[in-house]
Amino acid sequence: MRDITEEILKTLGFDKEIVSPFEAGSIEGFYYFTYDLGDSECLISNANDQATDGFYSIEIFNIPSVGKFENEEDLKNLIRCLEKGNKDE
């Protein structure tokens, strides 16, 4: 199983969200990735400055109790399930 990299996130359709140094209130800004699921729901990554060795973890925004997804296969399965659920509504 492959760990989640920026390349994988971009390939899966995640958007890069850039936070400027001013917005971050620090010397350096940072960025993270989101995947829109509609109806104010999204997947969100940890920030690039928190990525371990360049690898990201993904959570369902505002539902941290579901846990983190840290490999490409699990993330693809999650997206597939969530998108199928949204289409069935």
> 52-69: per-residue pLDDT in tens?
899 999 999 988 788 999
Q: Are 79 and 35 in contact (CB under 8 A)?
A: yes
**Spatial distance between the Cα atoms of 89 and 69, rounded to a whole number of angstroms:** 25
Q: Are 10 and 72 in contact (CB under 8 A)?
A: no
**Spatial distance between the Cα atoms of 46 and 59, rounded to a whole number of angstroms:** 8
pLDDT at 72 over 60: yes
Number of domains in the chain: 1
Q: Are 33 and 54 in contact (CB under 8 A)?
A: no
pTM of the model: 0.88
State percent of the chain over pLDDT 70.
94
Q: Are 19 and 34 in contact (CB under 8 A)?
A: no
Residue at 50 is within a domain: yes
Residue at 1 is within a domain: no
pLDDT at 5 over 90: yes
Domain with 44, as residue range(s), is 6-88
pLDDT at 26 over 60: yes
